Amino acid sequence: MNQALQVYYLENGKFTDEIDKLGIGIKTKTENYKYKIEKKSDINFVNHATAQKETLKSYAGVVVVQQQGNEATTQTILCESDSGTQGTAQDSDTKDAQLECPDGFSELNQSSQPDNSPTSNTP
């Protein structure tokens, strides 16, 4: 979902909090997970995959736009809950476009992608 949100931003110059608009064909709820996209600000979104069973871990993916010189980039971080978290609603504390995992979650990876959208500040 992180990558799909990055692509959506690249193609549209903005993020969306509607999973259907990402075009990745996932349901918002399955037997194992409930998915949602949370808007923290215009440049900061969090993807949630909340476990529906105690034995499964939950996931949070943070996607932000950060200005680096004259270039805007989208950056992501993927976080996994430290233990089974059935029904736990994750709340990310990402402030000022910082990439941080919520309490009780550990980082799995981090990536960035240049923003080549029409609204980019690149020449």
Q: How far apart are CA 53 and CA 66, in angstroms?
A: 35
Kindly report, residue by residue over 84-109, the tens digit of the pLDDT.
875 554 455 545 556 788 778 889 87
Helix (H) or strand (E) holding 113: strand 105-114
**Which amino acid, 36?**
K
117: confidence class by pLDDT, cuts 50, 70, 90 = very low
pLDDT at position 31, please?
A: 95
CA dist 52 and 29 (Å) reads 9
Parse the chain into domains and list their residue ranges.
Answer: 2-114
3-class secondary-structure state, position 24: coil
Query: Which comes out higher in pLDDT, residue 4 or 98?
Result: 4
Sign of CA dihedral 53, 56, 57, 62: negative
Contact 15, 42 (CB under 8 A): yes
Phi, psi of 40 (to 5 degrees): -95, -35
Classify 91 as helix, strand or coil.
coil
CA angle 29, 59, 73 (to 5 degrees): 110
Q: Give pLDDT tens digits for 5-63.
A: 999 998 998 999 999 999 999 999 999 999 999 988 888 888 999 999 989 999 999 89
